[in-house]
Amino acid sequence: MDKPATIKDIAKKLNISISTVSRALRKASDVSIETRKAVVSLSEELNYQPNRLALSLRQSQTHTIGVIVPNLDYVLSLMVRGIDEVALEAGYTVMVCQSNESFGREILNTRRLLDSLVDGFIISVSSETKSVEHLKKIQERNLPIVVFDRLMPDLVTPSVRIDNEDGGFQATEHLIEQGYKRIAILAGPKNLGISNSRMSGYLKSLKKNKLKKDNDLIVHCDFNQDYAYFATLELLAMKKRPDAIFTISDRMAIGAMLAIKEKGLNMPKDIGLVGFNNEPIVSLVTPGISSVEMPSFELGKAAAKLFIETMHNPEEINIEEQVLKTKLIVRASSLRTLPKISEKK
């Protein structure tokens, strides 16, 4: 295979200096029109491709965005797709790294992306992340950061998230409206903002409906099907077991469903179940699982737009967070009573 053409090849064929070729390709005014035309014509003939990295370094930009996510499950994959769509339209390339919910790996990913000369970061922190010093160091380099989905209150930066509290409130309100009174929640890690926000919505609904908070019905566990399965078995073993469970992710809802079926309980008659994320699997199982739908793709797009606005207007950064709404999708797992249909007059 022939080696790609270089500026040196063009200069040799035209018997001019390398610097003249470089200036001609940049359309410098001190190079004659005839020379510029000759250089451009020969570069096209030789299929010359400029060194993009060198050009980027001269411009102090690589047009590459470093994206760090906890994992690439269904929801986060949709968010990354939204980021990539906006980035592509704006002329940016996206480099994606997974932390696998590890704080140490998140730090390692930031270092590797910095070594790759990214222009900045769009990041959703891991469930282990409690300190944001590694992100503050990035800001000290004057690189933009946008945080999405999982936010960190100690980091002052543009951010976009969904209304997790309202999602938790909608799920719990629905269960109460269906006649459930002893409602458990499978919450995520205590230090994770989205866990606490979704639980906050759950507690808000209990208070509104004058149902007493019961700490025995609040279980913190990882976003993991197996953890949720065993946590649900423990809840069902209680003398006074719950009559409904709200899980803050659909992976946890599937684990809860397996435990419920193992115990021979009927959904929704014996126990109700609502998840969060509205992943495709919850509509395929029997019974279908009610779930809070979040605009994942739109959230990714919003995060990318925020990044590009921040990148091009650093003096006019709006650090207020953007909040997108959720919607409860009701299915058989929690539907004890059908909606009332008004009679025609």
134-166 confidence digits (pLDDT tens): 999 999 888 999 999 998 888 999 999 999 999
**What's the pLDDT at 58?**
47
Query: Are 225 and 154 found together in one domain?
Result: no
Query: Are 14 and 126 found together in one domain?
Result: no
Q: How confident is the model at residue 60 (pLDDT cuts 50, 70, 90)?
A: low
Mean pLDDT of the chain: 90
Query: Are 123 and 172 found together in one domain?
Result: no
User: To the nearest whole percent, how much of the chain has pLDDT over 90?
Assistant: 69
pLDDT at 92 over 50: yes
Query: Are 155 and 300 found together in one domain?
Result: yes
**What's the pLDDT at 342?**
43
pLDDT digit string, tens, across residues 34-58: 898 898 888 888 887 765 545 454 4
Query: Are 284 and 194 found together in one domain?
Result: yes
pLDDT at 308 over 50: yes
Instruction: Report the CATH number at residue 11.
Output: 1.10.260.40
Could you tell me if residue 333 is inside a domain?
no
Average pLDDT over residues 174-193: 95
Report in angstroms the alpha-carbon separations of 39 from 29, 58, 109, 131. 14, 21, 42, 53
Could you tell me if residue 258 is inside a domain?
yes
Residue 199 belongs to domain spanning: 164-294
Query: Are 157 and 185 found together in one domain?
Result: no
Q: How confident is the model at residue 249 (pLDDT cuts 50, 70, 90)?
A: very high
Could you tell me if residue 332 is inside a domain?
no
pLDDT at 252 over 70: yes
**What's the pLDDT at 307?**
94
Could you tell me if residue 331 is inside a domain?
no
Could you tell me if residue 2 is inside a domain?
no
pLDDT at 207 over 50: yes
pLDDT at 343 over 90: no
Could you tell me if residue 236 is inside a domain?
yes
- Residue whose pair of structure tokens reads 């704080």 in the numeric block: 103
Could you tell me if residue 342 is inside a domain?
no
pLDDT digit string, tens, across residues 224-244: 899 999 999 999 999 999 999
User: Where is pLDDT greater, at 98 or 319?
Assistant: 98
**What's the pLDDT at 314?**
65
Instruction: Report the CATH number at residue 253.
Output: 3.40.50.2300
Query: Are 12 and 32 found together in one domain?
Result: yes
| CA-based nearest residue to 275, from 200, 180, 185, 182 | 185
Reduced 3-state DSSP string for the chain = CCCCCCHHHHHHHHCCCHHHHHHHHCCCCCCCHHHHHHHHHHHHHCCCCCCHHHHHHHHCCCCEEEEEECCCCHHHHHHHHHHHHHHHHCCCEEEEEECCCCHHHHHHHHHHHHHCCCCEEEECCCCCCCCCHHHHHHHHCCCCEEEECCCCCCCCCCEEEECHHHHHHHHHHHHHHCCCCCEEEEECCCCCHHHHHHHHHHHHHHHHCCCCCCHHHEEECCCCHHHHHHHHHHHHCCCCCCCEEEECCHHHHHHHHHHHHHCCCCCCCCCEEEEEECCHHHHCCCCCCEEEECCHHHHHHHHHHHHHHHHHCHHHCCCCCEEECCEEECCCCCCCCCCCCCCCC
Could you tell me if residue 57 is inside a domain?
no
**pTM confidence score:** 0.80
User: Where is pLDDT greater, at 306 or 27?
Assistant: 306
Number of independent structural domains in the chain: 3
**What's the pLDDT at 214?**
97
Query: Are 224 and 246 found together in one domain?
Result: yes
Query: Are 229 and 261 found together in one domain?
Result: yes
